[in-house]
Amino acid sequence: MNAADRPDVDLPAVGIVANPMAGKDVRRLTSGATPISDAVKIGAIRRAVVGAIEGGAERVLISGDRARLGERALAGLELAGSVEVAEPHGWHTGRDSRLAAAQFRDMGAGAIVALGGDGTQRDVATGWRAAPLVPLAVGTNNVFPFQLEATVAGFAAGAVASGHADTAEVTTQAKIIDVTVEGSRSAEVALVDVCLVRGAFVGARAIWDLASVSEIVAAIAEPDSVGLSAIAAAVAPVGRNEAGGVHVRLGCASSNARYVPSDRHIRAAVMPGSYADIDIEHCEQLHFGRPVTLSGPGVLTLDGEREIVLGRGEGADVTVNPDGPYVIDVGAAVAAAQRQRYPFGPAVAGR
């Protein structure tokens, strides 16, 4: 059935995108990262559904997958609203999250709760660039998403979708990194960082060998981050709500704990439970709209996952821009909905 033919298409809706592969990459074997089980994701989906309906959503749309996370989350759950698990797209990769986000946009969703790490959030932004989004951390490197209780994350999304919280008042538009390969009509995006990695191997998509990393362009480089953006944060921090980004060119890296840093070296948390010494050759702040050309041979990683192979002499323009997804401030959205529902609040003070 097409969205236009659905009798409930005008009802306030929240989409839930859950990546079944989040938290299960190779970094579980090479670092101290904790595996994320299906049971954890199922519980989070279940709680987000309850919260979304409590927040005002009358429809909840859940992405489908081969692990049947959505169906398992709904088992035995009695709800006042309509809940639907979409048919799986069948890729069992990040492409499923991209397609689900675009599908939910076309089905009239007013907000999305995305369960996953930086890569999952990037996939959602690729499918729906301007999505009103609650990014819920369920992955290895969680720079972009937040550690939140899924119940209130769902509530906030439901409040935005239903209009109980004004989108303009409770969201901040995130930065986004546009990546355009020279001579190609297609483009990719990232939300945290784009890195040039020497070599042409893309089979194990996650990065665990820091010695192969050559350059980093980061939109978010906060001191409390873990991952490649933590390298940029050590020399030129830039917050998620600050304008622009940073470009860093690296030299060598080492995991030797006895290494004594010099003026050109820093030490950063490059993976959960893992620090490394990094040689910094170049660092500069970037303004919005100013491209940096990363040249092959090598592979471009987008938010920590190998995506684009560049041959010798090939290059890609990497540009930090201000027009990414609209990230929902969960606390502000919940408070706005409560003020609308319970306007007597201040009047009871002092009783």
pLDDT digits (tens, 9 = 90+) for 167-205: 999 999 999 999 999 878 778 999 999 999 987 554 444
Task: Provide the residue count of the chain.
Answer: 351
pLDDT, mean of residues 200-225: 76
Q: Tell me: do 333 and 303 sit in the same domain.
A: no
The Cα–Cα gap between 316 and 302 comes to: 12
Q: Do 156 and 226 fall into the same domain?
A: no
154 and 187 share one domain:
no
Percent of the chain with pLDDT over 70: 84
DSSP label at residue 107: T
Please tell me whether residues 9 and 141 are part of one structural domain: yes
Q: Do residues 91 and 229 both lie within one domain?
A: no
Residue 153 CA, chain-centre distance (Å), reads 14
* Number of structural domains found in the chain: 2
Whether residues 73 and 143 fall in one domain: yes
Q: Report the pLDDT value the prediction gives residue 242, as an integer from 0 to 100.
A: 98
44-93 pLDDT, tens digit per residue, is 999 999 999 999 999 999 999 999 999 999 999 988 889 999 999 887 88
Query: What is the C-alpha to C-alpha distance for residues 241 and 243, in angstroms, rounded to an integer?
Result: 7
Among 237, 207, 211, 212, which Cα is nearest to 223's?
A: 237
User: Which one is predicted more confidently, 186 or 230?
Assistant: 230
Question: Are 260 and 235 a contacting pair, CB within 8 Å?
Answer: no
Residues in CB range of 60: below 8 A, 6 or more apart: 13, 14, 15, 16, 49, 52, 53, 79, 81, 82, 83, 84
pLDDT tens per residue across span 243-275: 999 999 998 544 444 445 456 789 998 888 888
| pLDDT, position 151 | 98
- What is d(CA 161, CA 146) in angstroms, rounded to the nearest whole number? 20
**Structural domain span for residue 280:** 176-321
Distance CA 57, CA 197 (A): 43
- What's the sign of the alpha-carbon dihedral 298, 229, 186, 121? positive
Same structural domain, 218 and 168? no
Task: Dump pLDDT digits (tens) for 87-145.
Answer: 998 878 889 999 999 999 999 999 999 999 999 999 999 999 999 999 999 866 689 99
Inform me whether the pLDDT recorded for 28 exceeds 50: no
Show the tokens assigned to 201. 């191997």
Verify that 10 and 155 share a domain, yes or no.
Answer: yes
- With a cut of 70, say whether residue 212 has pLDDT above it: yes
Partners of 172 in the β-ladder = 327
The pLDDT score that the predictor gives to residue 207 is: 54
Same structural domain for residues 129 and 254?
no
The structure's pTM equals 0.88
| CA atoms within 13 Å, Cβ hemisphere of 209 | 11
Residues 183 and 310 in one domain: yes
Q: Are residues 145 and 223 in the same domain?
A: no
